[in-house]
Amino acid sequence: MNHKPAIEVECRFFCIVKRKINEERAGNECFFKYEA
């Protein structure tokens, strides 16, 4: 079984929430958070 890292799940959720607020910033912030 290959579990997805918690950060990946968190990032995906973060992206969805952010996208509702600001589509353009969501992508950048999510990418930054995922990379961190």
Contact between 23 and 8 (Cβ < 8 Å): no
State mean pLDDT over 1-28.
69
Task: Identify the residue with better confidence: 12 or 23.
Answer: 12
- The residue behind tokens 């995922």 is 34
Distance CA 15, CA 26 (A): 6
Query: Is pLDDT above 60 for 7?
Result: yes
The reported pLDDT for the residue numbered 23 is: 62
- The residue behind tokens 């961190």 is 36
pLDDT (tens digit per residue) in 16-33: 777 676 666 656 666 666
